[in-house]
Chain A
């Protein structure tokens, strides 16, 4: 500790996370704004719309809940539908255990609060690429990825609530999310097992697209994980 200007590994892992999380600003800004607009149109107060964004902090589930509330669905149905949309995050939670399970409880709780699609995928991609990362660097990296996204998600929801004008359709914002998710997952297709898992995920999700609230996705994800594991085992046996 001779100089405070020398960055500790955890600090540089944090800034690497900030850098890798920055592109998602493109996604957080329009969608948080849109949520503010939609929530206000639905009749939520400023505090309620902000409560949604800060406490739930999951775009797809927030939109699903507000959509059902606009249709005056029963409270139990609103809750079930929105929570079902979020169930994939239980898979994310489990898949982070080998990387972050040894972290102190408060750090795991903080990571859990910030565990959404973008932070999860970006971080796991890094953990997989660098198996020798130290625990505190992994936590620092995860928090780094969340840093450019989360405060902006809150602030832009508020802007949407206060300014409240819709975004022109010509911007095709609906498709920014699919592009980002595809771009995140493509570099992870690094073996035949991964490609097979992705193919099963797509086929089963399309076959079950009619099931309510993302339940089809859960079936697809489970089938895809089993497929990946089977193909990987099969390849290992052939090599042996």
Chain B
């Protein structure tokens, strides 16, 4: 790394300010002014539109295996989703997913 101290602090300051402005953007500017029904309808899908796409590449091509598909991680992902939907609970999904991950890693390691 060859940046000067000032350059490093510049990066940190701009990233901090920029990230805050991204997070504040709509919440800060719109406030309680009403939004069009179509926009509200689109926004209701934000969580299910962002997270699955964010996670999918990590499930199929995990960085820890150098991008090679890993059966243990894939099984853990499937169990997490199945339990999360069935139990309607993130906590149970997390517990089942992590339990399955370690069990599957252990099973595949001794084979």
Nearest 8 Cβ contacts at the A-B interface: A186-B84, A183-B93, A55-B16, A205-B53, A228-B45, A224-B49, A102-B32, A179-B97
Minimal beta-carbon separation of B48 from chain A (angstroms) = 5
Q: Is the CB of B97 within 8 A of A61?
A: no
Minimal beta-carbon separation of B15 from chain A (angstroms) = 5
Give residues 10-52 of B contacting A (CB, 8 Å): 10-20, 22-28, 30-33, 35, 38-52
User: Is B107 part of the contact surface with A, judged by Cβ < 8 Å?
Assistant: no
Using C-beta atoms within 8 Å of the partner chain, give the interface range for chain B: 35 or more
Q: Is the CB of B49 within 8 A of A201?
A: yes
Q: Is the CB of A70 within 8 A of B1?
A: yes
Chain A contacts for B98, CB-based, 8 A: 26, 176, 179
User: Is A132 part of the contact surface with B, judged by Cβ < 8 Å?
Assistant: no
Q: Is the CB of A44 within 8 A of B53?
A: no
Give residues 208-240 of A contacting B (CB, 8 Å): 209, 214, 216-217, 220-222, 224-229, 232-233
From A52, A91, A111, A115, name the one whose CB has the most chain B CB atoms within 10 angstroms: A91
Q: Is the CB of B26 within 8 A of A182?
A: no
Chain B contacts for A48, CB-based, 8 A: 8-9, 12
Q: Is the CB of A202 within 8 A of B46?
A: no
Using C-beta atoms within 8 Å of the partner chain, give the interface range for chain A: 35 or more
Q: Is the CB of A87 within 8 A of B43?
A: no
Q: Which of A6-14, A28-36, A148-156, A167-175 contacts B (4 or more CB under 8 A)?
A: A167-175
Chain A contacts for B102, CB-based, 8 A: 172
Chain B contacts for A52, CB-based, 8 A: 12, 15
Q: Is the CB of B57 within 8 A of A205?
A: yes
Q: Is the CB of B77 within 8 A of A178?
A: yes
Chain B contacts for A58, CB-based, 8 A: 19
Mostly, the B contact residues are helix
Residue of A nearest to B91 (CB): A23
The residue from A43, A51, A65, A201 contacting B48, defined by CB atoms under 8 A apart: A201
Chain A contacts for B88, CB-based, 8 A: 187
Q: 13 A-B pairs, CB-CB below 8 angstroms?
A: A55-B17, A96-B26, A100-B27, A101-B31, A108-B24, A108-B31, A112-B28, A172-B105, A182-B51, A185-B47, A209-B57, A216-B53, A232-B41
Chain B contacts for A169, CB-based, 8 A: 64
With A93-B23, A112-B23 given, is the CB distance from A197 to B57 under 8 Å?
no
16 more A-B residue pairs beyond the given contacts A96-B27, A188-B47, with a C-beta to C-beta distance below 8 A: A52-B15, A88-B50, A91-B43, A92-B46, A93-B25, A98-B35, A101-B32, A169-B64, A170-B105, A174-B63, A178-B73, A179-B80, A180-B94, A184-B47, A184-B93, A186-B84
